[in-house]
Structure formats: structure tokens, C-alpha cells
Homo-oligomer: A and B are copies of this chain.
Amino acid sequence: MTEALPSWNTGTTKSAILDFVARTTKEGGPDFVPPAGRIAVFDNDGTLWCEKPFPIQAGFLFGKIAEQVKADPSLAEKQPWKAVAEGNHAWLGDAITKHYDGDDSDLKLMAAGLLSAYAGDDVEDFAAKADAFLRNSHNSALRRPNLKTAYAPMRELLQYLEDNGFTSFIVSGGGRDFMRPVTRELYGIPPDRVVGTTVALEYRETDGRIALQHSEKLELFNDGPAKVVQIWGRIGARPVFVAGNSNGDLQMMQFATQGVGPSLALLVNHDDEAREIAYTAGAEKVLAEARAQGWIVASVKDDWAQVFVD
């Protein structure tokens, strides 16, 4: 038998994962979890694929926003069109950072603008656009195709969990319908197991033909407590395995670890400036809680033998 999780270096992090899976799958053992209870949830941006210098979805939205400015130059006077037109990524990044600090004003401004980008699209047309973007875009800082910024050790972990009877779900702040076209191929996770941020879908019927279209109304920003509510709504069970990387994952990590049986919480810590982009901004609270609760902290630098998928 080949060694499990070859992209993970030998050490306490890898051992903790292997030990958890061994204990929870050992029939008759004190920590045995029947397959139906082996539910795992994974954040996506920063946990399964790289979110720096900014989330992949931002490029998808910025491209369309730039088109809007070209068609109507007056838009360049207001946010978020202004920031996109000027290439002011700092404003956009700050909007997210400020959200984590409790100030949603710029995030709402950004969301309102960005969500208008694909309003009116039929759900299947939107899926085709997201699919094409994901397969043809690049991370300029890392000089890699975006789909090759998926983390090899995490993809391996998903496969390892599946091989051991776990069912994994993505529970992401990213757009549900944006991620879905590639999650099966990239992670082995089908669209029905992708939970994310959503715009309201509009139902229309014309002469008996049904159309389902993206509106520009934000339905749910899947972050923090909302992730817990959506986990129950979409999955109907308390997970026993949870992986995240930012403060927006804190509540689902608490929820998964507060059940009656065994559980494992894994926090990815981006501390490797050489092989990817290092940062802790937006992860301060969850890092502190991980230390307080004894959650597993995976160091990109020390625990990952390989960072990105080939």
C-alpha cells in the first residue's frame, strides 16, 4: 500500500489527520463514526485554492465591470467601478478586510456593483461563463492558471476522506454558482455539495417555458454564522471534520467541534512566502481560537511537501 497523503510532510499535523480517520473508521472502537455521520466541510478560498492577491471570483467580476465602464464611462465615477477602472485592488481588498473588522459599508457597495455584472443571465448560461473563466484565467502574481492554484495537499485530503467513507462539502464565502462548474473535476465534489454565497434566482415563465435567471439581489453572504445555518440547511447534519483558513470559518469550526462525538478542525495557516503568498490578515481571531481549543493548524511552510496541484 502506498503511503497516504504524500503531499503532507511527516509530523504532528499529518499524524493527527491519519489518527482521526483511523479512529473514526475503526468498527467497534470507542470513536467509531458510521459512514452516514462522516460529514466533512471545507472552506474554499484560501483553504482549497489560493485566494491571493485576491479571490479568483474577483477576476470574473472585474472583467465584466470593466466592460460596463467601457459601455458607460460615467460609471467610473463611483465605487466599485472606480476601483476596478483604476486597478485599485487595495480599495477592493480593504472592503473585505473592513468587513472582517465589522464595517460592511464598502463590502455592500462592492457587492451591489459586482452583483449587477451577471444579472439577467440564465443559470445555465452563467454556469458556462463561470466554467470558461475558471479554465482560461490565470493568477498573475503566482503566474499559474487559476485552477492550478488549488492546493495539492488539500485535494489529496479530500480524496483520502472519500476513500474512508466520508462525504465532503464545500462551504465557502465564494459564489455557489461560480464554483460549481469545476468542483467535481477539481475536488471530486458534485454541484449539490457546493454551499456558497448566492444571489436570488428569478423564476420566469413565458408561454409555458420556464427560465431561471440570476438577479442582482444578494440572497445570502455565506460567511461566519451564515455558514453554520447553511450547513444545517444544505447538509442536515453536524460535520465531524472541518477545514478553514479565516475568521469567516470560525463559527463553522466551533459548530463542528461542539458535537457529542469525535471531531477534527483543521486551520490552514499561510506562512510560506517562498512558495505562495503569506498572510494572516483576516485570520487573527480564528488562529487565536485554534490555539485556545487545540485545533490542528497546518503550516503551509512546514506541513506541505508540495503546495499546488501540477
Contact = CB atoms under 8 A, between A and B. Distances in A.
Contacts of A176: 233, 236
Contacts of A234: 192, 234
A235 B191 contact: yes
Interface string A213-255: 0000000000001001100111111100000000000010011
B203 A236 contact: no
Contact of A233 (B169, B198, B236, B255): B198
Given A193-B192, A235-B192, A229 B255 contact: no
A125 interface: no
A235 B180 CA distance: 10
Contacts of A194: 236
Nearest to A252: B210
Contacts of A236: 176-177, 180, 190-192, 194
A212 B236 CA distance: 12
8 contacts: A167-B190, A192-B192, A192-B193, A192-B235, A201-B229, A203-B225, A210-B251, A212-B228
A256 B79 CA distance: 40
Given A194-B236, A233-B198, A255 B177 contact: no
Q: How many copies does the complex hold?
A: 2
A237 B191 contact: yes
The 6 closest A-B pairs by CB, nearest first: A191-B236, A203-B225, A192-B235, A180-B236, A210-B255, A201-B229
A22 to B, nearest CB: 24
Interface of A: 36, 123-124, 167, 169, 176-177, 180, 184, 190-194, 198, 201, 203, 205, 208-210, 212, 225, 228-229, 232-238, 251, 254-255, 258
Nearest to A293: B208
A228 B213 CA distance: 11
Given A36-B190, A237-B191, A232 B212 contact: yes
A195 to B, nearest CB: 10
A138 B60 CA distance: 54
A240 B190 CA distance: 16
A184 B36 CA distance: 9
